[in-house]
């Protein structure tokens, strides 16, 4: 199973919005309502930011939102803050009892 496709890097200035895409196929991202997103700061464990495509766990700021169109899921971070600088990974069920991550996107806050 191939990894989901994410841009290697994105950037934005404080206060701006950025969107990170996660492209798969109808057999994974587009086929099931179970895409999740993770934030990872250097040297730290990943943190769940979004689950079930659009749902935010308790404690995650509402600046983080997500959506999906066809086979592409997206994570949008509004009102960028310095602490948002991190790596972001998408994740999805990929059929046949397989789970797959995206390749990861490095977010730089300029």
Partner 1 sequence: EVQLLESGGGLVQPGGSLRLSCAASGFTFSSYAMSWVRQTPEKGLEWVSAISGSGANTYYADSVRGRFTISRDNSKNTLSLQMNSLRAEDTAIYYCAKIPKVTRFLEYSFDYWGQGTLVTVSS
One-character DSSP codes across 43-63: TS--EEEEBTTTBPPTTS-TT
Scanning 18-26, 34-42, 63-71, 76-84 for contacts with partner 1 by CB under 8 A, the matching segment is: 34-42
Q: Measuring CA to CA, which residue among 1, 8, 5 is closest to residue 73?
A: 5
Judged by CB under 8 A, the chain residues 84 through 103 that form the site for partner 1 are 89, 91, 93, 97-103
- Closest by CA position to 76, among listed 94, 90, 59: 90
Burial (CB < 10 A; 0-12, 13-18, 19+), residue 14, is exposed
Binding pattern to partner 1, positions 9-28, x when CB under 8 A? --------------------
Going residue by residue from 58 to 77, which x/- string records binding to partner 1, judged by CB under 8 A?
A: --------------------
Query: Which residues here bind partner 1, judged by CB under 8 A?
Result: 1, 3, 32, 34, 36, 38, 44-48, 51-52, 57, 89, 91, 93, 97-104
């Amino acid at each position: 199973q191939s990894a989901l496709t994410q841009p290697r890097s994105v950037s934005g200035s404080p206060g701006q919005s950025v969107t990170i895409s996660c492209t798969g196929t109808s057999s994974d991202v587009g086929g099931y309502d179970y895409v999740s997103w993770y934030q990872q700061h250097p040297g730290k464990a990943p943190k769940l930011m979004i689950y079930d495509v659009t749902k935010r766990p308790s404690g995650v700021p509402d600046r983080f939102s997500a959506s999906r169109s066809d086979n592409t899921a997206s994570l949008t971070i509004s009102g960028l803050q310095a602490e948002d600088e991190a790596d972001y990974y998408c994740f999805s069920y990929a059929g046949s009892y397989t789970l797959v991550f995206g390749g990861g996107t490095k977010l730089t806050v300029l």
